[in-house]
Structures are given as structure tokens and as C-alpha cells.
């Protein structure tokens, strides 16, 4: 069942991407982030109340930093979805596992100081190969985007994956302090609403489009539903192997996004783009396996 819960979560996140792309024709990224935040606040408040989880926290600063980084990632992702083929934007956001692997390699080298008592850190060949493979995949995926003058949107999509990795590491820190996931996601929703509203002072607001505004509702509902299904998947995975299977099944969201991209939006993804997508998925799976060995109790990623 845990595998089915994760596949359902991936489907809901990909479906949310469809709604974001449809709503992007009428709202800018700041508005989408703000409205998703308000809807998420309502849903997560009800969830926390049903679970009898207090929303009071002893770590407001950590939640604020997690929300800030997460909002930057979310806004960049929503912008990329509006400008790029859905499959491309989704895949770039799922690069977070590869970015985490890159941070692990870079962090170990930066922290090392040559001395007689501090040996040089072991060469983590598997991590290095994983990171390089992931970035080769990025180059192949963005090649069609460069040809269509979408380079800026591609870079923003790539940034969404990088900042998602920073946000995930902060979620890990909060999890180790005993913060319930519903509380962490609630404060992220609060940060999204606040930051999105602040950004709207600079980006402006779009004219209310009427009925197309209904696309805003499923964005928040599907995001919350996907997060709940993902949490359920990890909660029902009783063994390390089951947890690893669940973690890797999140990449089925890229498959759903590719189907949506081709069927609903008639996006043409050339062969080189599909190859890049496969490389990114493969490197992401390997990075997830390596991360699970280093931190077996890691919390679920958010999208």
C-alpha cells in the first residue's frame, strides 16, 4: 500500500502542475504562491486540529528560514511551469536530490582543513558520478529550451530544484528536533501566503479573470493532498527497503507530467530531451539511495 500511496502523491503533484500551468495564463507566480498559501493554511489547520497537533513552536526562526527558502523554490517552480513544457519544469524541480548530493560532496571538501590529524575526506566517487550525470541530463533537457529562447525560464526552473534542496535540508533539521510534519508544512503555507502577498506589491495583481480563477482552488487542494499521501506512504513503510522504494517512486511524478505535457498541452519533447529526463531520474534515484544510507530517517520531500 505504501507504494500506491506514493504513486497517488506523485499523480496529485503532477496534476497540481497542470492547474498551475492553466492558472499561469491569468495570474503571475506571486499570486499563485499567495493563493496556494491561503488554501494550504485552511487545510493544514484542519488537519492539525484533527490530529490534535499544536501549532505552537519553539523554533520560529528555523520555520521562518525554511519558509523563506521554500517560497523562493515554489515561486521559481511556478514561473518555470508557466514558461516551459510541464515535463521539463517538473523534472528540473525534482533535481533536488541531485543538488543535495552535490552539497554533501562540496560540504565535505569545504569543511576539511589540511593537517596531520585531519585526513583528507574519502573520495565519494558514487556521489560525484551521480551529480555529474544529473547535470548532463540538465544540459540535454535545456538544449531544446535554449533553441526556443527559453533559457531564462530554464535557469529559473533549475534554481527551483536547488532551493528545494536547501528547504529539504531545513525540513530534516526540524524533523530531528521533533517538529511534526503537519506543523512544518503549516508554517510553510503561512510563509507562502505572506511572501506571495508581499511580492504582489512589486509584481502587481492581475485582472480577475472570472471562471478561470477556479484553477486556484485545486492548486492548494492537490498540493495538500499530495503531501498527505506522501506522508502516509512513508508512515506505512515499515522497513528500510520499503522506505527506499517509496522514496524512489516519487519520480513517477515526472512520468505523469510527461503524459500531461504531451496529451493536454501538445508539447513536443525531442529525443535529446527524453534522454536528459531519463538521466535526471536515474541520478535522482541513485542520489536517494545514497542519502537513505547516510540518513535513514529522513523526512519526505515536499513539492
| pLDDT tens-digit series, residues 116-127 | 555 555 556 676
Quote the CA–CA distance of 261 and 96 in Å, as a whole number.
21
DSSP state of 268: -
Q: What cell numbers appear for 252 in the block?
A: 513517477
Question: 178-236, pLDDT tens digit by residue?
Answer: 888 888 888 999 999 999 999 999 989 999 989 999 999 999 899 888 878 877 777 67
Q: What is the Cα–Cα distance from 235 to 242, expressed in whole angstroms?
A: 10
- Tell me the pTM: 0.83
> What's the CA gap between 32 and 23, in Å, rounded?
8
CA distance 84 to 146: 11
Q: Which long-range contacts (CB under 8 A, 24 or more apart) does 293-296 make?
A: 294/104, 295/172, 296/240, 296/243
Output the CA torsion sign for 258, 261, 263, 266.
negative
Average pLDDT, the chain: 82
* Mean local confidence (pLDDT), 238-265: 81
- pLDDT level of residue 292 (50, 70, 90 thresholds): low
pLDDT attached to residue 294 = 57
Separation CA 290–CA 293 (nearest Å): 5
Q: Is pLDDT of 113 > 60?
A: no
Interior/surface letters 28-55, b for 16+ CB within 10 angstroms, e for the rest: bbbbbbbbbbbbbbebbeebbeeeebee
Amino acid at each position: 500500500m505504501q507504494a500506491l500511496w506514493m504513486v497517488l502523491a506523485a499523480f496529485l503533484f503532477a496534476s497540481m502542475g497542470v492547474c498551475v500551468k492553466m492558472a499561469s495564463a491569468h495570474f503571475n507566480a506571486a499570486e499563485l504562491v499567495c493563493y496556494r498559501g491561503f488554501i494550504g493554511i485552511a487545510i493544514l489547520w484542519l488537519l492539525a486540529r484533527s490530529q490534535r497537533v499544536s501549532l505552537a513552536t519553539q523554533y520560529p526562526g528555523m520555520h521562518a528560514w525554511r519558509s523563506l527558502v521554500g517560497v523562493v523554490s515554489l515561486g521559481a517552480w511556478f514561473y518555470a511551469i508557466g514558461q516551459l513544457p510541464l515535463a521539463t519544469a517538473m523534472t528540473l524541480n525534482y533535481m533536488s536530490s541531485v543538488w543535495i548530493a552535490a552539497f554533501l560532496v562540496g560540504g565535505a571538501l569545504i569543511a576539511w582543513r589540511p593537517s596531520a590529524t585531519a585526513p583528507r575526506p574519502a573520495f565519494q566517487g558514487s556521489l560525484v558520478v551521480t551529480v555529474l550525470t544529473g547535470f548532463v541530463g540538465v544540459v540535454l533537457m535545456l538544449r531544446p529550451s535554449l533553441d526556443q529562447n527559453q533559457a531564462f525560464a530554464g535557469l529559473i526552473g533549475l534554481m527551483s530544484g536547488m532551493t528545494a534542496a536547501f528547504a529539504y535540508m531545513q525540513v530534516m533539521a526540524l524533523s530531528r528536533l521533533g517538529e511534526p510534519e503537519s506543523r512544518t508544512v503549516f508554517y510553510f503555507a503561512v510563509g507562502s501566503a505572506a511572501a506571495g502577498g508581499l511580492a504582489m506589491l512589486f509584481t502587481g495583481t492581475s485582472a480577475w479573470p472570472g471562471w478561470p480563477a477556479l484553477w486556484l482552488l485545486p492548486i492548494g487542494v492537490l498540493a495538500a493532498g499530495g503531501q498527505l499521501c506522501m506522508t502516509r506512504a512513508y508512515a506505512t513503510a515499515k522497513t528500510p527497503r520499503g522506505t527506499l522504494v517509496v522514496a524512489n517512486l516519487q519520480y513517477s511524478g515526472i512520468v505523469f507530467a510527461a503524459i500531461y505535457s504531451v496529451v493536454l498541452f501538445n508539447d513536443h519533447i525531442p529525443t535529446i530531451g527524453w534522454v536528459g529526463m531519463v538521466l535526471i531520474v536515474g541520478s535522482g534515484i541513485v542520489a536517494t539511495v545514497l542519502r537513505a544510507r547516510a540518513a535513514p530517517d529522513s523526512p519526505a520531500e515536499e513539492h
